[in-house]
C-alpha cells in the first residue's frame, strides 16, 4: 500500500520548540537511526509502530508515548500498512530554565529514554494538549510563553506518570515483523555496523530470516543486493577518509570493514571506476592531520 500522509507542523522560534501531527495510511518509516540535540516526545495516538533503539525493536501501540532525551539514537517505522496518527514534540534541554524558581529542571529529565502507557482518560487530555499548542502559540499577549511551557510541562510531568517507569516488555520478535519493516531494519543495521564483519548468516540470525530468503529478497526491498549495499557504504566511507585524512590505504580498508587490502582495492575500483590511488590523486588537497 502506498503511504498517504498529511502533516501539520508548528514551529515557534521565539521559545525554540516545535510540534508535528502526522496522519497517514500505509508504510512510513525512517531510513536509519538518528540523533537529536533536543528532547523529543513521540506519541502514538492511533495505529502501531516499531520503535527501534540500540538494535532492538519495540512495538508501540495506540496510547503509548516515548520520551527521548538528546543524544539517544533511534528510529521509528510502521509495523503494518494501516492508518496512523502520530504527534511529535521537540524542545531544548534549557526549555524550562527559570520556569520553576530554584529548581534545575534538567534533573527532572535524568530518567533517560522511556516508553509510557497512557490510559484512556489521559490519552484524551494528551491529544487535547497537542492540539491546543497551536492555539496558544498564535496568542500575541505576554502570557503566551508561560502558557506554552505550562502546557508542555503538564503534559510530560503530570499526565505521563514518567516516574512510574515500567520494564520494557514490548519487544517485537523479528519473526513477527512484516517483510518491508524487516528489510528496512536490516539496511539500518548495516549502515550502523558496516565496519564490522556482517554476513548473510549474521542477518539471518539477528532477524529470524533464512539467508537464502535474504539473498533472494534483499534487492527487492532495499534496492541493491546485500553485497552491493554493504560494499557501497564501505567505499563511500573510504572515499571520505581518503579525502579528509592521511591514513594509509591499509588502515582505511580495515576501518571500513574490508579484511584485506587487495579486496578493498578490487571493490573500490568496481564501485568508483578507479583505484584508491587514482581517487586520491584526483581529489582536492583538503586533507587534515
The answer to whether residues 140 and 195 belong to one domain is no
Domain assignment present for 165: no
Tell me, what CATH number does 205's domain have? 1.10.10.60
Nearest to 5 by CA among 20, 24, 29, 21: 24
Nearest to 46 by CA among 9, 74, 82, 6: 82
Percent of the chain with pLDDT over 70: 69
The pLDDT of residue 32: 67
Domain assignment present for 248: yes
Domain assignment present for 78: yes
The pLDDT of residue 162: 43
The answer to whether residues 139 and 272 belong to one domain is no
The answer to whether residues 9 and 150 belong to one domain is yes
Domain assignment present for 148: yes
Nearest to 88 by CA among 13, 153, 9: 9
Higher confidence at residue 66 or residue 256?
256
Bridge partners of 57, per DSSP, are 52
Domain assignment present for 230: yes
Percent of the chain with pLDDT over 90: 23
pLDDT class for 68, splitting at 50, 70, 90?
A: confident
pLDDT class for 109, splitting at 50, 70, 90?
A: low
The answer to whether residues 83 and 34 belong to one domain is yes
The answer to whether residues 52 and 100 belong to one domain is yes
Tell me, what CATH number does 129's domain have? 2.60.120.280
The answer to whether residues 131 and 188 belong to one domain is no
Nearest to 49 by CA among 34, 62, 36: 62
Q: What is the pLDDT of residues 202-244, one digit of tens each?
A: 999 888 889 999 999 998 877 889 999 999 999 999 999 998 8
pLDDT exceeds 90 at position 100: no
Residues with Cβ within 8 Å of 84's Cβ and at least 6 positions away in sequence, in order, are 22, 23, 24, 25, 28, 44, 46, 47, 48, 49, 78
Q: What is the pLDDT of residues 128-144, one digit of tens each?
A: 777 777 666 666 666 67
The pLDDT of residue 181: 66
Average pLDDT of span 59-69: 81
The pLDDT of residue 167: 37
Three-class DSSP category at 223: coil
Q: For the chain, how far is it from start to end, CA to CA, in angstroms?
A: 50
Domain assignment present for 168: no
CA angle 55, 57, 62 (to 5 degrees): 150
Give dist(CA 74, CA 68) in Å, integer.
9
Residues with Cβ within 8 Å of 48's Cβ and at least 6 positions away in sequence, in order, are 59, 60, 61, 62, 78, 79, 80, 82, 84
Give dist(CA 24, CA 22) in Å, integer.
7
Domain assignment present for 250: yes
188-227 burial, b for 16+ CB within 10 Å, e for fewer?
bbbeeebeeebebebbbeebebeeeebeeebeeebeeebe
- On whether the CB atoms of residues 59 and 5 are closer than 8 A, the answer is no
pLDDT exceeds 70 at position 108: no
Nearest to 17 by CA among 28, 9, 27: 9
Q: What is the pTM of this model?
A: 0.54
The pLDDT of residue 105: 59
The answer to whether residues 137 and 20 belong to one domain is yes
CA angle 10, 11, 16 (to 5 degrees): 145
Range of the domain at 200: 174-282
Domain assignment present for 164: no
C-alpha cell at 40: 523529543
The answer to whether residues 181 and 135 belong to one domain is no
pLDDT class for 55, splitting at 50, 70, 90?
A: low
C-alpha cell at 78: 510502521
The pLDDT of residue 214: 93
The pLDDT of residue 248: 94
The pLDDT of residue 47: 86
Which range of 103-107, 180-184, 211-215 scores highest in mean pLDDT? It is 211-215
Looking at every residue in the chain, the average pLDDT score rounds to 76
Say how many domains are in the chain: 2
The answer to whether residues 247 and 188 belong to one domain is yes
pLDDT class for 277, splitting at 50, 70, 90?
A: very high
The answer to whether residues 129 and 204 belong to one domain is no
Amino acid at each position: 500500500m502506498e503511504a498517504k500522509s498529511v502533516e501539520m507542523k508548528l514551529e515557534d522560534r521565539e521559545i525554540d520548540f516545535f510540534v508535528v501531527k502526522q496522519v497517514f495510511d500505509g508504510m512510513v518509516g525512517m531510513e536509519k537511526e538518528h540523533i537529536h540535540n533536543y528532547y523529543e516526545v513521540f506519541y502514538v495516538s492511533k495505529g502501531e509502530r516499531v520503535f527501534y533503539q540500540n538494535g532492538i525493536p519495540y512495538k508501540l501501540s495506540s496510547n503509548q508515548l516515548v520520551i527521548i532525551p538528546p543524544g539517544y539514537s533511534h528510529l521509528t517505522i510502521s509495523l503494518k500498512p494501516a492508518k496512523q496518527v502520530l504527534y511529535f514534540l521537540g524542545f531544548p534541554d534549557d526549555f524550562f530554565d527559570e520556569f520553576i524558581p530554584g529548581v534545575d529542571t534538567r534533573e527532572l529529565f535524568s530518567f533517560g529514554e522511556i516508553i509510557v502507557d497512557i490510559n484512556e482518560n489521559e490519552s484524551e487530555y494528551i491529544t487535547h494538549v497537542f492540539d491546543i499548542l497551536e492555539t496558544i502559540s498564535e496568542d500575541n499577549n505576554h502570557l503566551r510563553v508561560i502558557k506554552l511551557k505550562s502546557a508542555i510541562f503538564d503534559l510530560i510531568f503530570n499526565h505521563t506518570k514518567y516516574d512510574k517507569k515500567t520494564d520494557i516488555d514490548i519487544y517485537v520478535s523479528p519473526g513477527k515483523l512484516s517483510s518491508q519493516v524487516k528489510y528496512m531494519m536490516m539496511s539500518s543495521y548495516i549502515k550502523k555496523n558496516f565496519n564490522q564483519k556482517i554476513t548473510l548468516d549474521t542477518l539471518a540470525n539477528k532477524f529470524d530470516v533464512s539467508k537464502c530468503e535474504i539473498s533472494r529478497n534483499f534487492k527487492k526491498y532495499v534496492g541493491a543486493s546485500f553485497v552491493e549495499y554493504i560494499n557501497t557504504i564501505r567505499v563511500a566511507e573510504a572515499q571520505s577518509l581518503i579525502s579528509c585524512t592521511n591514513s594509509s590505504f591499509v588502515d582505511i580498508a580495515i576501518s571500513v570493514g574490508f579484511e584485506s587490502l587487495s579486496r578493498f582495492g578490487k571493490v573500490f575500483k568496481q564501485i568508483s571506476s578507479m583505484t584508491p590511488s587514482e581517487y586520491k590523486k584526483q581529489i582536492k588537497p583538503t586533507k587534515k592531520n
